[in-house]
Amino acid sequence: VLALAERVAALGNINAITDAGSAGALAMASIKSAGYNVKINLADLIDEVTIERMQTQLNQIEKRAIKIEVQLLNDLKERGHI
C-alpha cells in the first residue's frame, strides 16, 4: 500500500495527491504497529536463530518503508506543494 501511495503521489492525478499522502501515512502507521507486535512477541521466543531471522526481516521491512515514505513526502512537497 505504501509503495502504491508513493506511485500515485509521483505519477497520479494531482487532485488525488492528498489521498496518496493519507494512504501512505496510514500504511506507515500499520507497519509501525505490526513491528511493535513482532518485537513484543519475539521476547517470548526461545530459538535464537528464529529471533535473529525475524528481527532481520523486520529491520529490512522498516528500512524499505522509510525509504518509500521519504520519497512519498518528497512527492507531496514537489508536486503538491505540501
Cα–Cα distance, 74 to 82 (Å, whole number): 9
Res. 17 pLDDT band, cuts 50 70 90: very high
Q: What is the largest CA-CA distance in the chain?
A: 50
Q: What cell was used for 11?
A: 505519477
For residue 67, the tally of other CB atoms under 10 A from its CB is 12
Q: What is the mean pLDDT of residues 42-68?
A: 98
Query: How is residue 12 annotated by DSSP?
Result: S
The pLDDT of residue 80: 97
Q: What percent of the chain has pLDDT over 90?
A: 100
Q: What cell was used for 12?
A: 497520479
Per the CB < 8 A criterion, the answer to whether 25 and 69 are in contact is no
